[in-house]
Copies of this chain bind each other. A is one copy, B any other.
Amino acid sequence: MSTSTIYDIAKAANVSIATVSRVFNNSNSVSPKTKKKIMEIAGTMGYHPKAYAQGLARRNSKMLMILVPVISNYFFMEVLAGIQDKLLEYDYDLNIHNLNSGNSSDINDQVDYVVKRGLADGYILVSVHQQEAYWEQLKSYQIPLVLIDEYHPDFDSVSVDSVEGSYSATKHLIDQGYRKIALISANPSSKPMKDRRSGYKRALEDNGVVVDDKLIIVDTNDYRDGFTEENGYNSMLKILKKHPEVDAVVCASDIQALGAIKAMQDEAKRLPIIGFDDLPISKFLGLSTMKQPMYEMGTLALEKLIQRIKRKDNLISHTVFSPELIKRESSVADSVTV
């Protein structure tokens, strides 16, 4: 660690530490001459104000933090891009804290720990799903915080209507005459998955199709909440072997749909299929899907957080986007061939 402090610089420049501090805080009440001298000395000594000392003295950190359970998914990537681009307009550092499910402590405790340590001035929680009791506790800390991909009345939030999205996806298949529609699910207890399942069911019911719970395929492997190619692959295999009556498939995510498509290829079958997300790769594979405005969700969440930091007593606001149906070859009847 370059060990020089503000005292070293002050001594070398023959000024007080207050003056050194001022040049690093861009106070204009420093003469250009001494400013220049201080900057030169700081340069050669490799000095820069230490975050911990500044954070303590200022009582704010000019840092924002993103808390996210799974960094390695495309949804988060795009959300992050939106946050980062918007961040260029503001004077904040950004750090990402990966909530680790492999960790001994659970997500609750990890959020609690990070947030209470107060490293950042505000937090964006992406795809963090908690019990009601925990949200209330979090609320009591009165820390600026916005939710993405989750809804709770007590916090600003930006999310997508998963019920509606799944409804549209299912309806799209129904409209083409399919009736035995399977759902390849992810971890069924997660909030978005519950919503997607209920959208799927409602679409069937609204169109006079009896819901058959056996056609809702849940893989037991919960790695990454089931949002993996393997999950889709195995689920599709199960459909092909145990449910030959199925004539179309709704997937909880594009990544599972990709695995499912591979399974169909391996079995030389072809069923209409639709995903959820719209990964960049999906376009290349002709996968129909429900697109979420991920980038916009990121920019909007950041704006909400900045506003919240400025005025803690602003009214809470919620933004819910509707996913958009992207029709491509995978779900269109006449292009579905073996």
Question: A117 touches which one: B48, B56, B140, B143 (CB < 8 A)?
Answer: B48
Most chain B beta-carbon neighbours within 10 Å: one of A47, A48, A85: A48
The answer to the question of A281 belonging to the interface, with a C-beta cut-off of 8 Å to chain B, is yes
The answer to whether A142 and B2 have CB atoms under 8 Å apart is: yes
| A88 at interface, CB cutoff 8 A | yes
Contacts of A104 in B (CB 8 A): 88
Binds B, one of A31-39, A89-97, A167-175: A89-97
Residues in B with CB closer than 8 Å to A141 are 1-2, 46
Instruction: Give the contact stretch, choosing among A76-84, A193-201, A267-275.
Output: A76-84
A190: CB under 8 A from chain B?
Answer: no
**Structural contact, B233 and A262, CB atoms closer than 8 A:** no
A25 in contact (CB, < 8 A): no
Pairwise interchain contact A258-B281, C-beta atoms closer than 8 A: yes
Chain B residues whose CB sits within 8 angstroms of the CB of A284 once the complex forms? 229, 233, 258-259, 262
Cβ–Cβ < 8 Å partners of A103 in chain B:
88
Q: How far is the CA of A1 from the CA of B233 in the complex (A)?
A: 46
A72 is an interface residue with CB less than 8 A from chain B: yes
Select from chain B the residue with minimum beta-carbon distance to A230: B280
Q: Contact at A49–B117, with CB atoms within 8 Å?
A: yes
The residues of B that contact A118 with a CB separation of less than 8 Å are: 1, 50-52
Query: Which residues of A from 44 to 92 have beta carbons under 8 Å from B?
Result: 46-53, 55-56, 61, 65, 71-72, 74, 77, 80-81, 84-85, 88
User: CB-CB < 8 A to A72: which residues of B?
Assistant: 74, 77, 80-81
Given A52-B118, A116-B2: A80 and B71 interface contact (C-beta under 8 Å): yes
Give min CB distance, A145 to chain B, whole Å.
11
A-B contacts besides A50-B118, A51-B118, 11 pairs, CB < 8 Å: A1-B118, A1-B142, A1-B143, A50-B56, A52-B55, A65-B95, A88-B102, A95-B96, A229-B280, A229-B281, A262-B285
User: Could you list some 22 contacts between A and B, CB below 8 A?
Assistant: A1-B118, A2-B141, A46-B116, A48-B113, A50-B56, A50-B118, A51-B52, A52-B55, A52-B61, A56-B56, A71-B80, A72-B74, A72-B77, A88-B103, A94-B97, A95-B97, A96-B96, A228-B280, A229-B283, A258-B281, A262-B284, A262-B285
In the complex, the 9 A-B pairs of residues with the closest C-beta atoms, listed nearest first: A52-B55, A48-B116, A72-B77, A51-B117, A262-B284, A96-B96, A52-B56, A2-B141, A95-B95
Chain A interface (Cβ < 8 Å from any Cβ of B): 1-2, 46-53, 55-56, 61, 65, 71-72, 74, 77, 80-81, 84-85, 88, 93-98, 100, 102-104, 113, 116-119, 140-143, 228-229, 233, 258-259, 262, 280-281, 283-285
